[in-house]
Amino acid sequence: MRVVLTACAFAAAAPTSAFAVDYLSADQASKLMFPDADAFEVRSLTLDAAQMQQLDAQGVRARSASWTVRVARRAGAALGFVLTDDVIGKVELISYAVGIALDGTVRQIEILSYRESHGFEIRLPAWRRQFVGKSVSAALRIGEDIANISGATLSCAHVTDGVRRIVAIVALARRTGSLT
């Protein structure tokens, strides 16, 4: 009886992320977002305290001062930027990438890894297309300019918040000369 109880206790304590699926790497997503690029320059972007405060004043929490940016290039000229991030879905992380065109608009978003048991519908092209063309001046909020998916409310809200954060970071970094 003791062995059975121990096995049950162990099973109950085991992690429940049996639904994790990796769809793309950051490099694969970058190539998908900027198919005309012949090179991707990986750069570090570090926001200073003043930049973090500027984001906070815009209602955007940067969460981190350090970001990895992939600059898509063709014949040496920049085409745009790709940033990756992780947000919490309901209880697990969602990894995603955002492609930003030189004009600051969202070119594309891709879900890299999804670890939740529900809400995977955020991978649907129709939902992700809502972000295309949005810039720092867009609301980028569920219920305003981005539709929710029933059963994926937290995933939708958190990815939307993450995209808003990345768009704001790129806009600020370009405006201040930190990202060219």
Asked if residue 118 is part of any domain, the answer here is yes
Whether 134 shows a pLDDT value over 80: the answer reads yes
Q: Please tell me the distance from the alpha carbon of residue 93 to that of residue 77, in angstroms, as a whole number.
A: 34
Considering its fold, how many domains does the chain have in total? 1
The answer to whether the predicted template modeling score (pTM) of the entire model surpasses 0.75 is yes
Look at the alpha carbons of 128, 130, 131, 133 in this order and tell me if their dihedral is positive or negative: positive
Whether 16 shows a pLDDT value over 70: the answer reads no
Asked if residue 180 is part of any domain, the answer here is no
Whether 95 shows a pLDDT value over 60: the answer reads yes
Q: Please tell me the distance from the alpha carbon of residue 140 to that of residue 112, in angstroms, as a whole number.
A: 20
- Does residue 8 or residue 150 have the better pLDDT? 150
Asked if residue 99 is part of any domain, the answer here is yes
Asked if residue 1 is part of any domain, the answer here is no
Q: Which domain holds residue 45?
A: 17-175
b/e per residue 49-66 (b: at least 16 CB within 10 A): eebbebbeeeebebeeee
* pLDDT confidence bin for 126, thresholds 50/70/90: very high
Per-residue pLDDT, 6: 43
Asked if residue 84 is part of any domain, the answer here is yes
